Amino acid sequence: MQRHIDTQIQALRQEFITMGLEVKASLEKAIQAVKEDDQVAAKEVIEHDEIINGHEIHLEKKTAQIIALQSPVAGDLRETISILKASSDLERLADHAVSIAKSVLLLKEEYRDEQIDAMIGQMGDNVLEMLSSILKAYTEVDDKLAVQIAAKDTGNDELYLKIRERTLSLIKSKPKFISEGIDYLQIANHLERSGDYITNIAEWIVYTKKGKITELGRNDL
């Protein structure tokens, strides 16, 4: 006989994945907006953020109810806490997608740099691959896959440093590039932070499976 708490946690899992797919779609559209200078896509990302916020608020409310009314223990408690914490990470990922979209609206086509665009595109693709994989790992509670995904964040950090170096060099040599340079740095920073939040979700998967908090992607593996 299925326990009532099992049904409730399953509903939480399903909404978390739904939220994750919404966030993935927003981030994908934001990165598309950067690559193609798509102003319409950028505005759609901004407008869609309210729906994602609604998911987080609902998950926060339902997890609090389960903890208060069901008093979960052991694995049930770990998974409930993980969903609460990981949904907050998803919401912050969505915030970064919105910030990227806002930066796209400020970039001027005539001052864009092909090398930076290429690196940002590569960084964006890596973040999207990480997010897609982490949702799979979460669905399967695959802690080994979660660790592998977190390790990929190193590539984002390396690209961020290259983008920063190239951008600052152009700002020094081309004063008219200052505004665009700042926008590029902000976009790269939002992507770098996105990788960090995906790594956080990976840590919550490990916590659900093993019952301990493990820092991933921080040179301690």
pLDDT at 4 > cutoff 90: no
Q: Where is pLDDT greater, at 219 or 121?
A: 121
pLDDT at 218 > cutoff 70: no
Give the pair of three-digit tokens for residue 211: 């019952």
pLDDT at 219 > cutoff 50: no
Q: What is the mean pLDDT of residues 177-205?
A: 95
Residue 99 confidence (pLDDT): 97
pLDDT band at residue 217, thresholds of 50, 70 and 90?
Answer: low
pLDDT, tens digit (0-9, with 9 covering 90-100), for 40-72? 999 999 999 999 999 999 999 999 999 888 887
* Alpha-carbon dihedral 44, 45, 49, 51, rounded to 10 degrees: 60
Proportion of the chain above pLDDT 90, given as a percent: 81
Closest of 215, 147, 210, 204 to residue 16, by C-alpha = 204
DSSP string, 62-113: HHHHHHHHH---HHHHHHHHHHHHHHHHHHHHHHHHHHHHHHHHH--GGG--
Residue 75 confidence (pLDDT): 84
Show contacts of 159-165: CB within 8 Å, 24+ apart. Answer: 159/119, 159/122, 159/123, 159/126, 159/188, 160/123, 160/188, 160/189, 160/191, 160/192, 162/119, 163/116, 163/119, 163/120, 163/123, 163/188, 164/188
Q: What is the DSSP letter of 31?
A: H
DSSP string, 145-165: HHHHHHHTHHHHHHHHHHHHH
Q: Where is pLDDT greater, at 215 or 129?
A: 129
Residue 210 confidence (pLDDT): 84
Please give the model's pTM, rounded to 2 decimal places.
Answer: 0.92
Residue 176 confidence (pLDDT): 87
pLDDT band at residue 1, thresholds of 50, 70 and 90?
Answer: very low
Proportion of the chain above pLDDT 70, given as a percent: 97
pLDDT at 215 > cutoff 90: no
Task: Please answer whether residues 91 and 52 qualify as being in contact, where contact means their C-beta atoms are separated by less than 8 angstroms.
Answer: yes
Residue written as token pair 């309210």: 50
Q: What is the mean pLDDT of the chain?
A: 92
Distance between CA atoms of 192 and 128, rounded to whole angstroms? 12
Residue written as token pair 């987080």: 56
pLDDT, tens digit (0-9, with 9 covering 90-100), for 140-169? 999 999 999 999 999 999 999 999 999 999
pLDDT, tens digit (0-9, with 9 covering 90-100), for 85-127? 999 999 999 999 999 999 999 988 778 999 999 999 999 999 9
Residue 220 confidence (pLDDT): 39
